[in-house]
A and B are shown apart, each in its own frame.
Chain A
Amino acid sequence: MRLLFMTAEYPPYVWGGLGRYSHEAVKAVRRFASVDVLNIPSYYRTMVVGESPAGHRLREDEDGLVIHALFDESLDLFRTDPHDLRRAVDDVFRCLSREILPHLAPRYDVIFAQDYYTAPLAVRLQLNGVGDKLAVMCHLPVYAGFTYFDKPHSDEVHQALEAAGVRLADIVLVPSEFAKRVLTMTHAVHPDRIHVIGEGVESVMPRDRQVVSPGSGQVVRILSVARLVEQKGWHYTIDSLSALRRMGVPFTFSLIGCGPQENQVRDLFRAADLDGVLQHIPRVDHGTVLSMYAEAHIFLSTALYETFGLTVLEAMSGGCIPVTFEIPPLVELIGEAGITVPVGDTEAIARSMASLATNHARRARLSGECRRRAARFTWDAHARALVTLMAEPG
């Protein structure tokens, strides 16, 4: 099978999200199929390190993966007036045709588009005969307007782009049952056409170091990995840590992440007098993040909206116990292998973390359960499911 993987972010510049998915999924799918990557950066492009705007970039990574990229400052669908959206998509496609098409393979079995930004362009490519089949992965279905408050443009544009992909794709994919529910609320798509394939981890990591022994006086290590945006509920993280400190539980807190609201989040930590426990690491390579999962006891996520929760899964694969709000996709992912508390109940988060800090037996049991559950979600299984689905006749 020959597959064209279309994404708006490659390689990843954050630890979860679209870039991480694209990177890991491509790596895994290449075990079963021939893959080319087509990267059309959306508003993330200015953060793609080492690339400058204008024109086509073609490079081959160390594993021989061919990555085509289109950079043009003027091609920004998200800054488009909704009434001009079709014309804007036309403009991007013309540029795509001119700059990229001559460099692509003559024909692909499947065009696999990620999210709404690339979906309408993938539709054009299919209609122009570049690919036989079109698959669209809707990582973050647009519906609840509040989920997009960290994005600079209106839901109208997002939803119109999403609709273009959903209605014409031969295969519609989502990462969770929750995402499927959201998608079926808004689009003319029958639930039977939507396939749920959870994301994955490379493998379950060994956890041979018991980093905290039972008994009092031990310092519990708490880790959060997420972009510094409102959607991740940092104000609740701070309230939870403050409550934990009031309970007299000694802890350290590592935060891996950067984002547009970095200064605001840091100010909130300062205002709560939590500077002393905060270790903020804006950027670090993925391997280091994985080892930090294996060394931390608790993965704290106060995210207010997710459709899968890839960093939560990665933490679980390292035996790091997630403590989160009971938002539906995280309940679906975590199952019994972690603790979920009512949304907004920071005292309950603090109590849960205090309990894990002092109850060694529970911590050991949950840590083992995390690794067992994470083992069900591997990139290998994800890729096999994808390729099987894509190979099914019409």
Chain B
Amino acid sequence: MTSKVQLVWYYHQPTVSTDAEVNDMVVTSLLPLLRAHAVTSRKFTIAITGVLVERLAEVAPSALGQLRALLESGVCELGGTTYHEAFPPFLPIRYLRRQLERDMTVKAAHLGDAPTFFHPTAFTWASSLASILPEFGFRRFVIDETHYTYATATQLWRWTVGHNAQLANTLQATMLDRRELHIPYRYRADESQSLTCFVRDFELVREFSLGSSGLIHRPLESEALDRFLEYVTRLEGGGGRLTLADDGDRITPVSLAAYQRVLHELPEDVFVTPRDASGEREEKELVYLPSFSIADHRDFWLADIDSVHYLRLLDEMYARGVPLELEDDLLELQDVFFLFWKTVPRKRYYLEKALTLWKRVCDVTPAPTRGATSDQDG
């Protein structure tokens, strides 16, 4: 039985990118991707941040027009995101909601679509998202397999001895059958609502496309791609849904040819989008998803003191409370750019904006008194 394939692409450009950089991305990645699917009518999903949608409206309106046409034809399903590329677990709930709300508004205005599938930034997850997503009409979302493994781990700890006799412990991973990753899961938001959770198969993604090492980056070699196509069509215990989701390693001129071959050679009905999930296969129950960051995790994001300093600056603004008229400025500062790019000079853009905003916030909002709690999380 042939499996279904769910191709989920993610696009974002931070506000610090120049128009020329946005245009580079459009001509070398977004347009070739859209065209490949327009020609073949193979279904796919694109999660494109709201801030990039607005930028495209200015810089590349024809690309936005092509995307709109694919959405209207049903070839493409739009994924919801945070408006900027923000990490849900790092945000106070109030601002997480604002990111989602702003994203939905932009997508409705420019693309006429209200997504029901959510793609969290870099597959990070805040446990509170489960109750927030239904508020915005989301019915489905995607996580990474490392998150699934973590969420389903046993509570057995393994003690290990490292350098200098330091003791460390690791949570034992669950014995994982890879076919588990190809099942849609039902995750209850509350008593009355549930969400469908897809798990991206990271090993498959790595083989398929990741960085410059995946098989679609080897356009002159066909054997690896042959094996992949065979795997998809002859998967043992078929009928699963392979989720090949991406967090920003976009289609490139190099990977395009092999990608086109995948679209041409697999039957049309193999390709599905999250919306097609209902009734396809019985969902299994997933009881709890803890907050999670795929890059393990906290150490990576907070490795440099600059990031710690920046986040504390944001924390101070959260604690003081940012007036409504300044909220948009704060949303922009929540972009992961500052944390992800460790040393590039354009980080200054965010730091300077943060300091300017902080001064404005101080002008209008008194410092919180000792012992007072913020209502920002409400």
Contacts and interface: CB of A to CB of B under 8 A. Distances in A.
Contacts of B28: 327-328, 343
Interface string B196-226: 0000000000000001100001111100000
Most B-side CB within 10 Å, residue of A148, A236, A264, A304: A304
A325 B211 CA distance: 22
A40 B87 CA distance: 46
Interface in A302-346: 304-305, 325-328, 331, 342-345
> Which of A230, A265, A305 has the largest count of B CB atoms less than 10 A from its CB?
A230
A188 B343 contact: yes
Contacts of A261: 220
B165 interface: no
B323 interface: no
A326 B27 contact: yes
B41 interface: no
A144 interface: yes
A185 B344 CA distance: 7
A186 interface: yes
Contacts of A184: 345-346
Interface residues of B, number: 29
A327 B345 contact: no
B22 to A, nearest CB: 11
Top 6 closest pairs, chain A to chain B, by CB: A304-B253, A145-B212, A344-B256, A146-B254, A146-B212, A343-B32
Given A184-B345, A304-B254, A328-B20, 19 more contacts: A146-B211, A146-B255, A148-B212, A149-B254, A177-B20, A181-B18, A185-B21, A185-B344, A187-B344, A234-B220, A264-B220, A265-B220, A304-B253, A305-B254, A328-B28, A342-B35, A344-B256, A344-B257, A345-B35
A346 to B, nearest CB: 9
A178 interface: yes
Interface in A236-283: 236, 261, 264-265, 268
Contacts of A190: 345
Contacts of B257: 233, 235-236, 344
A314 to B, nearest CB: 22
Chain A interface extent, by class: 35 or more
Contacts of B23: 328
Given A342-B27, A344-B260, A188 B345 contact: yes
A230 B35 CA distance: 22
Interface string B19-60: 011011001100110011000000000000000000000000
B253 A325 contact: yes
Contacts of B343: 188
18 contacts: A144-B252, A145-B212, A146-B255, A149-B217, A149-B254, A177-B20, A178-B24, A181-B21, A186-B344, A233-B219, A233-B257, A234-B220, A235-B219, A235-B257, A328-B23, A342-B35, A344-B257, A344-B260
A364 interface: no
Nearest to A332: B20
A189 interface: yes
Nearest to B346: A184
Contacts of A234: 220
Contact of B32 (A155, A265, A344): A344
Interface in A371-394: none
A342 B260 CA distance: 14
A41 B32 CA distance: 37
Contacts of A186: 344
Contacts of A326: 27
Given A235-B219, A344-B260, A146 B27 contact: no
B60 to A, nearest CB: 12
B222 to A, nearest CB: 10
A208 B53 CA distance: 51
B242 to A, nearest CB: 23
Interface string B335-367: 000000001111000000000000000000000
Contact of A343 (B219, B220, B256, B346): B256
Contacts of B18: 181
A226 to B, nearest CB: 14
Nearest to B214: A146
A230 B212 CA distance: 13
Interface in B157-196: none
A343 B21 CA distance: 16
